[in-house]
Amino acid sequence: MKYLIPFFLFALLASAGCTGSQTPASTPGTQPPVSGAQQPASGTPSPVSGTQPPVPQPAQSVPHEGKWGIYSLDLATQDVELIYSTDEEIQASALRLNSAGDKFVFAKKTGGNADENLEIFTVNADGSGLQRITTNSYWDLYPAWSPDGTEIVFLSFRGSDLDLYVMGADGSSPGLLYDSGTHDADVDWAGNRIVFTSDFKIWVINADGTSPIQITNPENAGTWGTANLPIGDYDPRLNADGTKIVFERLENPNTAHGSYNLFVINSDGSGETRLTENGYAQGLASWSHSGNELAYVVAAIGEEGKYHIYEINADGTGNQDISPAYFPPGFLSHSPIFSKDDSKVYFIGQWWE
């Protein structure tokens, strides 16, 4: 049995777990020696001159070092590469790649397991150059790059609630960007717009923190059921030019993990379009750089924990599970994002042990 991680940030608490043994990678076969002295069995045709037996290929497996890691999935070959690994808990809801495609920003707990131990880090896309860019006693999380890669917007609990802050890409000059007066969450930045969640709705502000505009107004927003969140809209992500927003909406809060569906809306609030109708526990969708596809996580289907990566076209067609079949049951995928050329999906991997 697997237990669902409440990965949508607005809940303000996160826990994770699942059981199940890992499946060891199968051992590659051994190529038999080729010798001119070997003779085919009676009645077996002789091999064509000059041909060799096929060389067995290594079995695909997921590299494993620490309990958490940043991974890449090649969409053509289904090969997985471990980029960065740690035993410290990585915040599962936010992995971001800068516009140059060469550096990630993320948050992880360091020096303890309290929320206040969440700090923001950057690391190069090849796993080198890990840099801690916040060091304080606050709760710092959910970072996102500015379009030019020189700044980072993030969430921080430095007063009575979570607010939007901005700092230099090296952690310099952090300052308050926007405070709605209640918890603000789930932030993203593209073009001259910053999108975020507040009061279970999607909002947009200018990059300088001015002119807040409410974008969505889900029916019965804020109504609680038995799920870990109330009805509402969560985890908005802008496409590359900042004109469209993808988000998940919790429509039925009375299922085990909440019944969510994906939607797309123009960043001026027009043209809201439903992409899914299955009501899975799903979300944290990210745009491809072409704007044609979205990658997201299905955390659970009914009572069953999944944590698989899915891909769907931006018009809602072609929805499919793209997690390789060789992923072991104890390996959970979070927060998928596309590489700069859209040939790979980067994601946070968690080993439940």
Please say whether the beta carbons of 234 and 250 come within 8 A.
yes
Question: What whole-number distance in Å separates Cα of residue 78 and Cα of residue 311?
Answer: 14
Domains of the chain, with CATH numbers?
78-351 (2.120.10.30)
Question: Hunting for tokens 């996580």 — which residue is that?
Answer: 297
Query: pLDDT tens track of the chain, all 353 residues?
Result: 333 433 444 343 333 333 333 332 332 233 322 223 233 333 433 333 455 666 555 689 999 999 999 999 999 999 999 999 999 999 999 999 999 999 999 999 999 999 999 999 999 999 999 999 999 999 999 999 999 999 999 999 998 999 999 999 999 999 999 999 999 999 999 999 999 999 999 999 999 999 999 999 999 999 999 999 999 999 999 999 999 999 999 999 999 899 999 999 999 999 999 999 999 999 999 999 999 999 999 999 999 999 999 999 999 999 999 999 999 999 999 999 999 999 999 999 999 97
Contacts of 340 (CB under 8 A, 6+ apart): 97, 100, 101, 289
Of the candidates 187, 185, 193, 189, the one whose C-alpha atom is nearest the C-alpha of residue 267 is 193
Output the pLDDT for position 59.
Answer: 87
Enumerate helices (H) and strands (E) in the chain, giving the number of each.
Answer: 0, 26
pTM exceeding 0.95:
no
What is the spatial order of strands in the sheet that 304-313 belongs to?
281-287, 293-301, 304-313, 320-321
Question: What whole-number distance in Å separates Cα of residue 74 and Cα of residue 71?
Answer: 10
- Residue-wise pLDDT for 303-321, tens only, equals 999 999 999 999 999 999 9
Amino acid, single-letter form, for residue 174: P
- Residue-wise pLDDT for 35-67, tens only, equals 232 333 334 333 334 556 665 556 899 999 999
Output the pLDDT for position 200.
Answer: 98
Contacts of 151 (CB under 8 A, 6+ apart): 145, 166, 167, 168, 169
**Tokens read off for 293:** 């596809």
